[in-house]
Each structure stands twice: as structure tokens, then as C-alpha cells.
Homo-oligomer: A and B are copies of this chain.
């Protein structure tokens, strides 16, 4: 007889930029039994989730649904569905996740034009707009809040310029949605992606996204019906502009999320239960109340850190309200402090990437983790 293994999950206070703690209500919802993917009870849930997502993402777009994968799956889905070989894409990068946009766009075959600014700062909108006019790209891809540096880029003026110049504006809002204001329609964002494991406070594994008819038009031009769904199995479906991924092909995904329910993948049942419940929790709290709670706990955390004599990293004017970056004092081993916090107190904070690794700690105040109790415990374990 094989020895029984048990899942061991110690209690944690998670103060990283994700994955963060989730409301027990979300976990309860996720313990519901399975429904078939074409069961009317399940397809209703899909439709309701789309409605809830529209509210949280502040959009009237027809299309708002999750991709079954983590945040970057959603980013790649949008980019690979609209970028064709040698399309010009402008990416103003102010941290690691601008690097990720670049990486994905390059792999999609784009001619990437990269703008850099020092990590810890963001771009003046005018700088970006000038470059847009010069390069005239098909797509401008930008991060809203980059957790690697803890900065947030103002997007409204840039969105307006993109619309005027007829450029598709794609935004990675993984770190900001449901933690601070993100106005998809008002900021004229054409495609926006978020993730479940940050301020939505749902376990990692889904990337909710939305896009408007400007992006849909590109999708429809590139669309093909999947082999095996056609009644003639030999029928060839293709234009030279075919989307390179099947799994992340938004033109097929939107058919699956439409009343046609054209089979694509098998929707991730339990994750959808969690997303549905998480979105309901957000809307019950109210977006404005939720943003206010995030601001309050951020301010408490910042005050406590400064009271300890520690220094924040980066340009404070553009601080991301959901992540606080703290300079590791000279002579202190940042990783051993994190290890001590985790092992002795069950508190998790994060390090950073690339040039900032070992130089800053990053403390998240996101979603269900963003509560007074957690902030106080983290400041004084």
C-alpha cells in the first residue's frame, strides 16, 4: 500500500505583488462540483462573467472574457492576434514588464521600436506622442503599472493620441485593475489585459481581457475556422494573415464566448467559478470603495516604512498605489530579511528583477491581502 501524501499548505500573510491571498468566498465557490462546458448552467455563468468583467474593466465593449492561462497568456493573445509579420509596434518600457511586451511582440514577428526610461520613472505623455507621430506604428503597447519598479504610467493623453492617429492602443493592466482606477473606454484603450492573481484576488491561472471593435476588425480579417469543426475535414482554411497561435487566437476564442459556442478549448470550470465570485465581491464592495481601501492601506504602509527610517525607491509622483518599493539599506542582505520574515512570521514580501535585484524590496497591497491587519503585521511582525 502506497503511503498517503497530504497537501501541506502553511498559513501565510502574502504581501507581494502577486499571487496574493484570496477571499475564502472565492475558494468556497471553487469547491463547487463540475459542470459540462455546454451545460446551459455553465454557459449562463460564462455570459454573466462577461457582464461582471465589463463593469470591473469600465467598458461597454462587447468582448470581455478570460483567457485560460496566466496574465502573460492574455497579453500574448492580444498581441499575437493583431500583430502580423513586420508590423511596427512601439513599446515605451519603464520596467521588466515592458521587456515582456517587447519579447512577445518580437516573437510575433513585429518590427519593435523600443523607448526606454530609467527604472523608477515613467514617460512624459508628450515624449510618447512625439514618437508615435514619428514611427506611425500599427500598435502601441504599454504597461499601466509595472510591479518591477512600482511605477504607474498616466495613459489618458496617450490613448487620445492613439485614437487620433488611428493606432491600436494595447495596455497591460495586470497590476492595477480593481486596485486603482483603470478606465478602459474613457482612456481610449483598444485592448486591455489583466490577471486574476493580483487585485482581483482570485488564484493565478486566468487572464481577463477586453477589446473593442477596432481590434475585432483585425481579428475578423485574420479569422479561420478550425479544421475538424468543418464538415469537410479537408477544407483548407487560410489567408496569409492567419494568426500564429491556435490556443491564443482571439478570433476563435470570441466564437467560443459568443452564442455560437463554437468549440475551442474546454473552459477552465473551477477557475471560472472563482473569477465569477471574485468579480461579484469586487462589485459588492464597489470600485470606488475598493480603490479607497487600497489607497488607505498603501498610505499606512508608506508611513510605517518611512517611520522606520527606510527610503522608498523611485519617483513618488508616479508611484503605483498597489506596490511599494523600498530601498534595501547598504550592508543589508535583502534576501535574508525576506527569508526571516517568511520562516519566522509567515510573511512574504518580494525582491525584484534584473538591475533592481538585491537593491529593493517590493511590498504589495493588493486585493484581499490589502487590509489593515496585514499592513500592521508586516510593519511589526
Q: Which residues of A contact B (CB under 8 A)?
A: 2, 4-5, 7-12, 14, 16, 18-22, 27-37, 39, 41, 45, 48, 68-73, 76, 80, 93, 95-100, 102-104, 106-109, 116, 148, 195, 197, 203-205, 226-231, 233-234, 238, 242-248, 263-271, 273-274, 276-277, 280, 283-284, 286, 342, 348, 353-355, 357
Contact = CB atoms under 8 A, between A and B. Distances in A.
Contacts of A283: 2
A264 to B, nearest CB: 8
B274 A45 contact: no
A242 B109 CA distance: 11
Number of copies of chain A assembled together: 2
B9 A35 contact: yes
A270 to B, nearest CB: 4
Given A19-B266, A70-B265, A71-B266, A107 B244 contact: yes
B32 A9 contact: yes
10 contacts: A2-B284, A22-B33, A39-B348, A69-B265, A98-B228, A99-B229, A102-B227, A107-B242, A205-B270, A245-B245
A35 B203 CA distance: 10
A283 B4 CA distance: 10
A246 B116 CA distance: 21
A266 B18 contact: yes
A103 B226 contact: yes
A354 B229 contact: yes
A375 to B, nearest CB: 17
